[in-house]
Structure 1
């Protein structure tokens, strides 16, 4: 029997794909923005035509997320993309002319490598292909060892969609054999222009160092603050809708609700009347026992499952209409299970005497748990909103809107993207919603002022 060294095999596969990507980039360099837009436009049209079937197939096969939510998300994302990014120029002449004595030229950066998250949404896969095509870069996608085979199967199908538009083949590549050694090789390989790490924190430590520019796409689990001046019922509806949307797998999904003690009872009552179930201490013990066992199950764990599925699996009796499981917490401690990232419809509530202490609680969550790429506030007090905006080290702040669709630019005035730069978490070098702008550089041409 022949022994195969998996480390060497994975390193060689990576090197081969990066060399192929370099060759394909030469082809892409011959395309201008008009041609790239033609391909991305055809891709959008083809995906929209088959969207219902594609989403149903993906959610059913991967067994996480929610079909109806995913369909709505992708439909609205593609519409926003067409209205904004699709109309912009990132490659070629961006601005100015000889008469202005100043010209800006957008230039693709080269080979972009994407580290996939464990449970990508269907819309994220579509987003990534559009990023590649619109920016004129070659992309190499690195599978996550926890990706289900159905994820890569759908991703390859979407690549087939773009290649049927006559987009050059070989510009979107996959590496499926992944080891720590191949990731180390990736981080030092000179053929890589940019690394996009989407919510894979296992590759952010001293073991994996790189001088290559790196963008970290933040994941779920961010704090939301409701103060006493807010439209409280709407705020509660927004939080429940956002946290349960697509079963909690979207970046920017709320996991921590911080509020003032004076309105806590009203918030809890409103939550229960809008589909949230507030757990007892015994319920929480059952839940923690199940989640601890479930997270070791790659095939069918709790990530992206509904609140009722999780409750039933935990032997917790909840109404069939339950959309969210809620834990009321008194303190934030290092060993608190609910402080870890939970990509599912579970929410922890923290109560503080006033908005100033609530502000400090939000800062603790952002800083100590490294979850600070996004913050949401529900308030009608302009001074409080301004103070939060000034004090909080976050890349984006959503005001009076559901976070998961707001932070991603679907329902709030951010660029539409499911990759939320997490530079404020101490990871990566961007805090923006990632668009083709972050995947190109500007070559500036200046003319003499004396001519």
Structure 2
């Protein structure tokens, strides 16, 4: 009875939150653009001020990652994101093409349901709140049960900042009783206009099958190709900086390194110098046993853990200072565990003959759970870089940069985001880094630009004179018939 009662309370809570959000959004839609922008600014400042505290709460509650890196993500989601979107036109007249005589008007979609992952709970909540309000929408969060406290605290900070600027109650809210039934009610509710889903494959599929429009992004299986012209020392440094960032919990982190045989020994030596440890023999078997569930999925117990933690769980001894555990993998597929996504400090390592074989292998790795997401290439050969860009089914091909930091817009010019579209090939409705521009409807006012010279049809109606003439003709015909 307790479980059923909890589910019913969760559903009822969702219905109340949606009702309040709908009412709040209608009021919020009347706010001036200037006031909305100021509210978004205050949200950014409030989240930035609490970035450290929220990061520590997330690590303490979930057991995932490193608080200093989660703090960085909180800053990206607040301060850096705000700088990117502050001058963006999202509501009212957003564009006017005088030559084509088209005026574009941005309008909010309404109430947004935001699903939050346990790996990046506070930063994702901050980011989604800012882009939702910037586009004039209300937002309701569905937190991961494992990250409930830190998500609720994040929402509390955001709500307080919004209320201080006169935002209506209910504009930002969060489920306090997260259940599958409650989340399903939220996603399928007739007054929810759009779902922003970030998380596992099953959750994203549920969002897309809910009947409500959705922007969902799932897992990545990011390959990193080190081509022979690359600066190997810098490449390894960047890969390790990315893979160790928050202990690999960002889905854009590298999952496999692919390099050419002619530089393979140099790459391996550099990995070992900088903190990579190549597993051997029984060590591989021991790690494999703890990295997967019996069904072949990723074991949640290793997510966001350090190399030292994983070694202890596997019962193996590694030197001090090891940052990442590496396995020289032989193939790609379900029977090759290291070829899959690993949101922790584990990497697969592959050696190929040349960049053409490397291109094919990277494609296979992407097919094994990362289609449409991200890939990184380390190379100084622009021709080969372009070949990869033209042929790889990814939404982001990152060049000579850490994949994690590059994908979320920290080390590149990409839009700062924690929801990274994977395009149709990856089962997503967009291939962009999702921002406020994805959370509006655009109304287009179009004036005539091409006079089709349409002339009014001639009046073919019968006038009075025509009727008299016809009558005379009929009378004459009748006279002739009598004769």
TM-score by length of 1: 0.90
Aligned length: 449
Taking the aligned partners of 1:397 and 1:2, their CA distance within structure 2 comes to 49
Per the alignment, in what secondary structure is the counterpart of residue 394 of structure 2?
coil
Structure 2 counterparts to residues 189-200 of structure 1, below 5 A: 189-200=189-200
Taking the aligned partners of 2:3 and 2:363, their CA distance within structure 1 comes to 52
2:110 maps to which residue? 110
- Show structure 1 runs of 4+ deviating over 6 A: 97-100, 293-296
1:33 maps to which residue? 33
Which of 1 and 2 has higher RCO (CA within 8 Å, sep 6+)?
A: 1
TM-score by length of 2: 0.85
Mind listing any 5+ residue stretches in structure 2 that lack a counterpart? 452-483
Taking the aligned partners of 2:60 and 2:51, their CA distance within structure 1 comes to 14
Q: Indicate if the aligned counterparts of 2:76 and 2:416 stay in contact, CA closer than 8 A.
A: no
2:87 maps to which residue? 87
Q: Indicate if the aligned counterparts of 1:220 and 1:248 stay in contact, CA closer than 8 A.
A: no
Taking the aligned partners of 2:62 and 2:206, their CA distance within structure 1 comes to 33
1:24 maps to which residue? 24
Deviations 1:357-399 (A, max 9, x none): 1111111111232443111111111121111111111111111
Taking the aligned partners of 1:438 and 1:376, their CA distance within structure 2 comes to 25
Deviates more, 1:353-362 or 1:177-186: 177-186
Taking the aligned partners of 1:310 and 1:140, their CA distance within structure 2 comes to 36
Residue 102 of structure 1, CA deviation: 2.9
Per the alignment, in what secondary structure is the counterpart of residue 395 of structure 1?
strand
2:376 maps to which residue? 376
Asked if 1:406 is matched to 2:403, the reply is no
1:365–1:176 CA distance, 2 compared to 1 (3 A): farther
2:161 maps to which residue? 162
Please say which structure displays the higher CA radius of gyration: 2
Taking the aligned partners of 2:333 and 2:90, their CA distance within structure 1 comes to 46
1:84–1:149 CA distance, 2 compared to 1 (3 A): closer
Deviates more, 1:281-290 or 1:26-35: 281-290
Taking the aligned partners of 1:38 and 1:308, their CA distance within structure 2 comes to 45
Taking the aligned partners of 2:429 and 2:328, their CA distance within structure 1 comes to 35
Q: Indicate if the aligned counterparts of 1:121 and 1:250 stay in contact, CA closer than 8 A.
A: no
1:200–1:290 CA distance, 2 compared to 1 (3 A): closer
Taking the aligned partners of 1:252 and 1:360, their CA distance within structure 2 comes to 20
Per the alignment, in what secondary structure is the counterpart of residue 118 of structure 1?
coil
Mind listing any 5+ residue stretches in structure 1 that lack a counterpart? none
Taking the aligned partners of 2:102 and 2:346, their CA distance within structure 1 comes to 53
Taking the aligned partners of 2:429 and 2:412, their CA distance within structure 1 comes to 23
Q: Indicate if the aligned counterparts of 2:198 and 2:204 stay in contact, CA closer than 8 A.
A: no
1:175–1:59 CA distance, 2 compared to 1 (3 A): same
Residue 204 of structure 1, CA deviation: 4.8
Q: Indicate if the aligned counterparts of 2:219 and 2:369 stay in contact, CA closer than 8 A.
A: no
Q: Indicate if the aligned counterparts of 1:216 and 1:423 stay in contact, CA closer than 8 A.
A: no
Residue 228 of structure 1, CA deviation: 0.7
Residue 152 of structure 1, CA deviation: 2.7
Deviates more, 1:299-308 or 1:408-417: 299-308
Structure 2 counterparts to residues 39-58 of structure 1, below 5 A: 39-58=39-58
Deviations 1:238-267 (A, max 9, x none): 111101111111131111111212211111
1:310–1:398 CA distance, 2 compared to 1 (3 A): same
Residue 40 of structure 1, CA deviation: 1.3
1:78–1:115 CA distance, 2 compared to 1 (3 A): closer
Q: Indicate if the aligned counterparts of 1:222 and 1:256 stay in contact, CA closer than 8 A.
A: yes
Residue 268 of structure 1, CA deviation: 0.9
Query: RMSD over aligned Cα, in angstroms?
Result: 2.9
2:463 maps to which residue? none
2:464 maps to which residue? none
Q: Indicate if the aligned counterparts of 1:222 and 1:252 stay in contact, CA closer than 8 A.
A: yes
Q: Indicate if the aligned counterparts of 1:283 and 1:316 stay in contact, CA closer than 8 A.
A: yes
Taking the aligned partners of 1:187 and 1:36, their CA distance within structure 2 comes to 26
1:374–1:99 CA distance, 2 compared to 1 (3 A): closer
